[in-house]
Structure 1
Amino acid sequence: MPVVRSADAQVYEVHNARFAALIRPAVGSVDLCVWQTEIAPGSVGVAHRILGEEAFVLLAGDVVLTVDGDSTALRPGDAAVAPAGALIALTNETEAPARLLVTVRSGFAAELPDGSTFVPPWAS
């Protein structure tokens, strides 16, 4: 059984956010990817189009999730799902970091504002 200890998770930093890869094909998962994201205080999310469904659970702090122009504040314990093809952004308007648990199917990709496709290394 593959186990990833939080202290051993591979970490990536992109756009004022820290991504700790937990479950993904690189550690033995076939279908699922799970990571923890920490969003720095005062960060405005980079809008990107997700090419697969993405689910979020806010563990700590406060964020605003925008999906196709509809913004919703999330509080700890709240969960949300963004459908495939949606334009999304996560923003932390507070003075404290926010922490989320995020899950997608393996093979997940996103389209960036410049039209390029991005396959997150924390989901591969």
Structure 2
Amino acid sequence: MSVVRADRAVLFEAHGSRFHSYVAPSRGSRQLCAWRLEVPAGLRGVPHRPTREEVLLVLTGELTATVDGSPATLGPGDVLVVPAGSEFAVDAGPVGCTAWVTTSPGLEAVLPDGTRLAPPWAA
């Protein structure tokens, strides 16, 4: 059994958000990546295209997720499935938000200019 204590999550910061990585190949997982995402109040996310499907569960606060031009507002307990290759961005509500994100190893984010980013929290 593998238990990852909260104080053992690896913290990364990017684009104004914080990523607390719990599960990734670099920490022994073969098939999953998972992290807690913290987006500060009012932050507008960077549009990108994930190369792997992602599942996002809102834990606290509110966010607006836009997938392929269609926005949806999510609150605690709501889940969003982001298809691989879709254009995706997360904007925080007035109090910010925290979400749990799960995907598979090999995730990359393709930015609007074509730059490919291999997020270290999923490596």
Q: Tell me which interval the TM-score lies in, with the shorter structure as reference length.
A: over 0.9
* Aligned twin of 1:121: 120
Any stretches of 5+ residues in structure 1 without a counterpart? none
Aligned to 2:100: 101
Which SS does the other structure have where 1:122 is aligned?
A: helix
Structure 1 CA distance for aligned equivalents of residues 79 and 93 of structure 2: 18
Match of 2:27 in 1: 27
Distance in 2 between residues matched to 1:24 and 1:58, nearest whole Å: 20
Answer yes or no: is 1:61 the counterpart of 2:61: yes
| 1:36 alignment partner AA | R
* Aligned counterparts of 1:109 and 1:68: Cα–Cα separation in 2: 17
Output the amino acid matched with 1:22: Y
Rounded Cα–Cα distance in structure 2 between residues aligned with 1:27 and 1:3? 11
Whether the 8 Å contact between 2:63 and 2:96 is mirrored in structure 1 is no
* Superposition deviation, residue 97 in structure 1: 2.5
Q: Which runs of 5+ in 2 are unaligned?
A: none
Residue equivalent to 1:42: 42
Note the alpha carbon deviations across 1:59-111, whole angstroms, 9 max, x for none: 000000000000000010000101111000000131x2200000000111110
Task: Tell me by how many angstroms 1:6 deviates.
Answer: 0.9
Is the partner of 1:7 in helix, strand or coil? helix
3-state SS of paired residue (1:92):
strand
Mapped partners of 1:44, 1:24: distance in 2: 26
Query: Residue 92 of structure 1 corresponds to which residue in structure 2?
Result: 92
Give the partner amino acid of 1:84. Answer: A
CA distance in 2 between counterparts of 1:4 and 1:116 reads 32
Structure 2 counterpart of 1:38, which letter?
A: E
Cα offset for 1:27? 1.1
Partner of 1:110: 109
Corresponding residue pairs, total: 123
* TM-score of the two chains, using structure 1 as the length reference: 0.96
Identity within the alignment, %: 41
